[in-house]
Amino acid sequence: MPAITPSRAESFSIGELSKHVGVNIETIRYYERIKMLPAPGRSANGRRVYGPAEARILAFIRRSRDLGFTLEEIRALLALGGPERASCADVHKIASAHLTNVRSKLSDLVKLEAILAETVARCSDGAAPDCPVLDILDAGRRG
Amino acid sequence: MPAITPSRAESFSIGELSKHVGVNIETIRYYERIKMLPAPGRSANGRRVYGPAEARILAFIRRSRDLGFTLEEIRALLALGGPERASCADVHKIASAHLTNVRSKLSDLVKLEAILAETVARCSDGAAPDCPVLDILDAGRRG
DNA sequence: CATGCATCCTGTAGTCCCTACAGGATCAAG
DNA sequence: CTTGATCCTGTAGGGACTACAGGATGCATG
C-alpha cells in the first residue's frame, strides 16, 4: 500500500493534492475559479485544505480530461452525480454522444498509428534520400 | 473524378480552397499570418490566389492536425520536405515520438470506450435510480 | 532568534489554436 | 444599379491551461 505522506487524518494541502492526483497546482486553482471544483475549506492562515471528496472529484476531472471530455461535459457529468441526481437518461445521452466521438477518434488513431509506423519504418535510419513525408498527405485521401 | 468547380486552370480563391480542403477561411488566413502557409499570389484586386501546391500543403497541415500533431511539429515536418531536405532521421525522430504518444492515447481511448459502453448500457433508459457516473473514476485506477 | 528556502496566497498576463466580428471593398447576377 | 456573396485587414474573444509578479506564511537549521 502506498504511504501518502499524510498531513493529519485525511486532509491535504494544495501541493499534496497536486502531487497525489497529478494535476498542476495552478490548474487546481483555475478549476476552483471556474467552479469545476468546490471551494475547499481554509486553515487558520488562509490555506486551502482538501479532503478525500475533493481529491475524488479532481481525479475524476483529470481522468475525464485525459480521455477527451471538455470541461463543460465533465461539469454536466458531475452535476448528474451531485445532489440533484438527474436522471440516468441524461448520463446516457452525454455518454453515448461522447462514445460516438470516441469511436471516431479511435478509428482515426488506429489509421494514424499504421501510417506513422509505416513512415517510421520507411525512414528507418536516414537511408532513403528523399523522405516520404508528404506521402502522409496522400495516404489519407479517401479513395 | 470529382469536378472541383474550377476557377480557371488550377487556381482557387480562398473560399474554394477552404471548401476543397475543409479548412476554415479564417484559419487559412491565420496559417498565413503565422507562416505555416506561404503567402499566396494576389490577383489584381488584391485577393489571394492559390494553386495546387498550396492546396497540397494545406491538406497536409489539416490532416496532420487531425492526427494530433502540433503546428510546431508540422512546421518541422514541412521544413523537412522543403528545399533544405534534411535527413530522414529527423522525420523518423518526430514521427516516432508522436507514435509513442498516439499509442498511449489509443490505449486510453480503448479503455474509455469500454467504460462508456458499459455506462451507457447500465444506464440504458433511466431505469437505474443512481447512475454509476463516478464509477468512471474508479474504473480507471491502475490496480 | 534570525535566516533561508519551500510552499502558499492573489491577481494578471501569456500560450496555443483557432473563431468571430467590425468595417470596408469588390465581384457577378438580375 | 442594386443586391448579396465573397473577399480584405485588423482586432478581440474563447477554451484550457501555464507562468509570473509580488507577497505572506511555515518549517528547519545555525
Same domain flag for A3 and A35: yes
Q: Is B20 on the interface with A (CB under 8 A)?
A: no
Q: How high is the pLDDT of residue A133?
A: 54
Same domain flag for B51 and B4: yes
Q: How high is the pLDDT of residue B85?
A: 52
- Segments of chain B scoring below 50 in pLDDT: 1-8, 83, 126-129, 137, 139-143
* Domain end among A69, A86, A103: A86
Same domain flag for B33 and B2: yes
- Segments of chain A scoring below 50 in pLDDT: 1-8, 83, 126-129, 137, 139-143
Same domain flag for B77 and B101: no
Query: Å from A44 to nearest chain B CA?
Result: 32
Residue with cell 452525480: A81
Distance CA B114, CA B62 (A): 29
The predicted-structure confidence for B73-109, as pLDDT tens digits, reads as follows 888 878 766 545 556 666 677 777 777 777 776 776 6
SS3 at position B49:
strand
Distance CA B117, CA B111 (A): 10
Same domain flag for B68 and B105: no
- The answer to whether the Cβ–Cβ distance between A140 and B106 falls below 8 Å is no
Instruction: Provide the residue range defining the domain that includes A64.
Output: 1-86
Rg (CA), chain B: 22
Crossing angle of the two packed helices A14-21 and A52-66, in degrees rounded to 10: 40
Which runs of consecutive H residues, i.e. helices, occur in chain B? Answer: 14-21, 25-33, 52-66, 71-81, 88-122, 135-139
Q: Output DSSP code: residue A45.
A: T
CATH code of the domain covering residue A32:
1.10.1660.10
| For A137, nearest residue in chain B (alpha carbons) | B60
Same domain flag for B82 and B95: no
Distance CA B119, CA B138 (A): 13
**Per-residue burial over A57-93, b = 16 or more CB atoms within 10 Å of its CB, e = otherwise:** bbbbbbbbbebebeeebbebbbebbeeeeebbebbbe
* Domain end among A86, A103, A132: A86
Q: Which of residues 73-132 of B touch A (CB under 8 A)?
A: 77, 80-81, 85, 87-89, 91-92, 95-96, 98-99, 102-103, 105-106, 108-110, 112-113, 116-117, 119-120, 123-131
The predicted-structure confidence for A37-56, as pLDDT tens digits, reads as follows 999 999 999 999 999 999 98
Q: How many CB atoms lie within 10 A of CB B123?
A: 24
Number of structural domains (chain B) is 2
State the virtual CA torsion across B48, B52, B56, B57 in degrees, nearest 10. -40
Same domain flag for A134 and A76: no
Which runs of consecutive H residues, i.e. helices, occur in chain A? Answer: 14-21, 25-33, 52-66, 71-81, 88-122, 135-139
